[in-house]
Structure 1
Amino acid sequence: MPFDASSKTAIPPAEHGRRGNPRAVALWLLAVAGLIWIMVALGGATRLTGSGLSIMEWAPVAGTLPPLSEAEWRRLYDLYRTIPQYELVNAGFGLEGFKRIFWLEWAHRFWGRLIGSVYLGGFLLLWWRGAIPRALMPRLWLLFVLGGMQGAIGWFMVASGFEADRTAVSPYRLVLHLGMAFLLFGVILWTALGLLRPVREALGPRQGSVRRQALAAFVLSVATMLAGGFVAGTRAGFTWNTFPLMDGRLVPAGYLDLSPLWTNLTLNLATVQFNHRLLATLTLLAAFGAALAAWRRLPAGTACRAVLGFAAVIGAQYALGIATLVHVVPVSLGTLHQAVAVAVLATGLLALHTLRKPER
């Protein structure tokens, strides 16, 4: 019969099954979250290099291996030559040019398969060893299903780029795919934090007000990320490459030119870029406000450092966003900007987790 190291008393088998080994499960989940983080960065590089449409088949199993013969390379290249992106962007770049964009998309898809394998393999191993607390099983199964859905959403997004007169994927489907990645990362990280730090700390009478300010900054940061997805999907970042003004104006000309009105939020380049700037600035102000509140109202410790770290990462992301814009979105800065967005998400969740309302 297993023993509780803290009390030196035997734990009944049923209770041991309920408790499991939270630390082992948390480390596994953190590893999966790290793989998702890399996946988001790979996705950014794939988009910025125009590589995302190079593989025109969804083959979850057979596509694990790259082409192994010259005939297979030719077949895939001939498929690619049938879509508008080839005709309008890459016509005549040859088989070698095709291989350059193919490998990045293949790596992106391969990494997705790796995430699924690590998740399922780790889950089965930990379940077999009795390490997973029973109360956690439904959530872990749900995450597995959502991960499978993310693969399908990825193909749904890619397929939109094969339509007539398109040279890139639908911005709506891109934001859906990116948003699902953020959701999976967030839920996995929050679950891991709950296993590593199950006790909610009481940090004083002003804890609630700091938590509300940190939550406001976090919500704004998520809204900024999703707005950034539309900037990426419409390539709005390649226009108005000055800051803080856009063509010498605070609010750009043509802000509400499209009809119906709501389409300006997702398809009007001026509106999309301005809204991303505005949300980013509001996020920065809210984060610095939360940091100031934490510094003044919380005792020195993990929670205070987490909020200060959250604000620091948002400040770095804001500066990186400006650099990316004024340099007209080079692949290196654009990819880094997308990767740091995940760091914003991670530090925000850590801050909120340390500020959870204490149990009575």
Structure 2
Amino acid sequence: MSGAKLTKIAEALPSTVPFVGPEAAERQRGTAFTARLGANESVYGPSPKVLRAIEAAAPDVWMYGDPESHDLRRALALHHGVEMSEIVCGAGIDGLLNSIVRLHVEPGVSVVTSDGAYPTFNYHVAGYGGTLTKVPFRDDHEDPEALLRAATETGARLIYLSNPDNPMGSHHPAQVIDDMIADLPDGCLLVLDEAYIELAPDGTAPLIDTSNPQVIRMRTFSKAYGMAGMRIGYAIGEAGVIRSFEKVRNHFGIGRLSQQAALAALADTEWLEIVRAEVARARDRIAGIARENGLTPLPSATNFVTIDCGRGAEFAKTVLDALVARGIFIRMPFAEPGNRCIRVSCGTDQDLDRFAAALPPALAEAGSAMNDG
């Protein structure tokens, strides 16, 4: 007796996931982390109004969520000054990326991204048989000019760019992105991931232009709004581009509680300002801890700080492992030259106290290991 065969594409893929979650790492370690500073979650949590909205909606979880996310899309359209037909909601940006890749990528189709950028996008491209071209970061920033050149040379159907970017935390001003949009090759769609945009400096986000069918903007409630566990994001784009999602999206992918929580979060602008201030304070604290230990923090427009360890990828990985062994969950960029760094999410004062205490012995251990090697 034999089961159903996998597709040729699936058969060729490794049995892996883009990230190892902190819960899996805790199971492997046999103990919990004392500071969870690796997943770029918002430790400040959602607005108290969000928690009240979830509590009020909890008795209705026996019902599916509205498959059209009508009320949320209406609120988002008003918030951004666009039409409801120009917004689609999904299970976080990850779910939306899956849909956009499924719509546009098949075997032989070219896609362009940055080497070291968000790996889940690459995971989806591989899953649909696309051909991925990567260009290096330049000066710890994604390189719009190089992305455009690669797209032109390969006839790419999609370009993925995050602004601000993960994992380096850098950003480009709106004019740079507008210039990139103006130079997009015909037939190419820019997937502009703006997961951290609420935490970025003013002037980072270009004006939203839903008349342009070559750009789709990805947003989320996971970062600044503190709702990573609710899995809800949305995309803004030209109505025809958005309408195409109806062909493939999971129409019941967003639960009832998530929709109500997102509505409450969007309405609570005061809480968003509190979170922005806390993130800015935590970024300064992380940068200070880095400098106190002879390391170089990179400027950040996100809710994390990427820290240059100064001695290459092997040293950075050894520092990361030493911190994890001390109960501090962090991550690091995986591609050169970013992999000379570690990446630390913004945390509470207690989280950062623990990071500050663990970093000096971790650096000493890593230095000793490198010298012994």
User: What range is the shorter-chain TM-score in?
Assistant: under 0.3
Specify which structure has the higher proportion of helix. Answer: 1
TM-score by length of 2: 0.24
TM-score by length of 1: 0.25
Structure showing greater radius of gyration is: 1
